Amino acid sequence: MSVKFRRDHPQLSAEEMELVNRVKLLAEELHESIDMAPVSPARENAKVKLQECVMWTIKSIWEHR
């Protein structure tokens, strides 16, 4: 099985970088709101899913190039 890992990362345009930063800022705000919920496994799962959401969103910006 051949596994392909990206060795180089394309430079993002100013517009793409602005979008990445906006996504991260909104995610930070949402993370702070999630932190106000009672401590529970569901809250921790919500934070993990938020991290995944940000990761996939940024990946989609990179792949669109």
- Answer yes or no: is pLDDT of 1 > 60: no
Q: What is the pLDDT of residue 17?
A: 93
pLDDT of 15-53, one tens digit each? Answer: 999 999 999 999 999 999 999 999 999 999 999 999 999
pTM of the model: 0.81
Q: What is the pLDDT of residue 10?
A: 72
Q: What is the mean pLDDT of residues 5-20?
A: 83
Q: What is the pLDDT of residue 2?
A: 60
SS3 assignment for the chain: CCCCCCCCCCCCCHHHHHHHHHHHHHHHHHHHHHHCCCCCHHHHHHHHHHHHHHHHHHHHHHHCC
